[in-house]
Amino acid sequence: MDYEHGATAKSKIGLGCVTFGREIDKGTSFRLMDHAYKNQITFLDTAAAYGNGVSEEIVGAWLKERAFSKKSITVATKILPPYTPLQIRLSVEESLRRLRTESIDILYLHRWDEILNNTEPWVTLDKLVKEGKVKKTGVSNFDTEQLLNAVNLKKINGLDSIRYIQNNNNFAISDLSSGVRDTCRSNEIKIVTFSPLGAGFLTGKHRDRIQVRSRFAIIPAHQDIYFTEQAKLRLDKILQVAERTGYSSTHLALSWALHQKDVFSVLIGCRTIAHLDQAFAAEKFHSPKIFSELGLI
């Protein structure tokens, strides 16, 4: 099954399930997935690390309870190091169990690790594809050099190609360098991005203080990423455009991310149905003048 969004294959929106079991409970997660599916968004992205596996369990429970045809839903998940052959297999088996499925549509390596300079992890992934436990593989949070090394190592050894990369990309911060984009274009690697609002940074709500129970409070590492001079300048710019045009910075940031050239899909992580509806509205928005001012690429 190729990666598609049901009847609306042209939509760039995917449902990021990072909040499931961490910021929202099972019932709320179910309602979000129901609303996404009703609006023809059928790509779900989770990870073994999200809620220490709880996110995968919630997605798996929803899939079983709704009894969807496997062809109508695409599920991606990610595994963390260590990437030894044994641990990769154990991680995949655990994800399969939590997701209640026999095959993972897209399996990402969640981050780079030095062991990936060796062939063994890639050979193991190739075997999992051949066995049908994984349909397609991807990498996440890789820079240009890491991505190129992985692509070349796979080619040299005649292994299944990397099909996807998932990196952070928003108006304030981007891990999609020109090198990453060029490598993806040359090797037919689809680009999936996450955090279009910068974990809430681009809403402007953290300008004066960290909001209680926000992503910045739950995961303080976000502060190191976004509380930089460059990111603050970008925030100031989008807030200025928002004030002048009458559109919220949330709407503009989502629109900017969803209209990026070369980006195949944008993951929307949310806690409420209203958050998801914001993304639907942003995807429909089109203003060449505003996009030009924001520097859409």
Position 281 in a domain: yes
At residue 221 the predicted structure's pLDDT band, cuts being 50, 70 and 90, is low
Position 295 in a domain: no
Q: CATH number, domain at 22? A: 3.20.20.100
Cβ atoms of 216 and 202 within 8 Å: the answer is no
Whether 208 has a pLDDT exceeding 80, the answer reads no
| 41-67 residue pLDDT tens | 999 999 999 999 999 999 999 999 998
Position 246 in a domain: no
Map residue 47 onto helix, strand or coil.
coil
Among candidate residues 6, 8, 30, the one with its CA nearest the CA of residue 280: 8
| 147-158 residue pLDDT tens | 999 999 999 999
The strand pairing partners of 107, in sequence order, are 77, 137
At residue 226 the predicted structure's pLDDT band, cuts being 50, 70 and 90, is confident
Position 210 in a domain: no
4 exposure class (CB count in 10 Å sphere: 0-12, 13-18, 19+): middle
Angle at CA of residue 31, ends 25 and 37, nearest 5°: 135
At residue 143 the predicted structure's pLDDT band, cuts being 50, 70 and 90, is very high
Position 207 in a domain: no
Position 204 in a domain: no
Whether 176 has a pLDDT exceeding 90, the answer reads yes
Query: Which residues are CB-neighbours of 32 under 8 A, at least 6 positions away?
Result: 15, 24, 270, 272, 273, 276
Whether 175 has a pLDDT exceeding 50, the answer reads yes
Higher pLDDT, 133 or 220: 133
Whether 5 has a pLDDT exceeding 70, the answer reads no
| 248-259 residue pLDDT tens | 999 999 999 999
Question: How many Å apart are CA 196 and CA 198, to the nearest integer?
Answer: 6
Stretch 13-27: mean pLDDT, rounded?
A: 97
Question: How many Å apart are CA 22 and CA 41, to the nearest integer?
Answer: 22
- Where do the DSSP E strands lie in the chain? 13-16, 43-45, 74-79, 104-109, 134-140, 164-168, 190-194, 263-269
Give me the domain span that covers residue 194.
Answer: 13-199+253-290
111 exposure class (CB count in 10 Å sphere: 0-12, 13-18, 19+): middle
Position 193 in a domain: yes
Number of domains present in the structure of the chain: 1
Question: How many Å apart are CA 120 and CA 104, to the nearest integer?
Answer: 20
Position 7 in a domain: no
Looking at residue 199, its pLDDT comes to 87
| 65-104 residue pLDDT tens | 998 766 789 999 999 999 999 999 999 999 999 999 999 9
Higher pLDDT, 224 or 170: 170
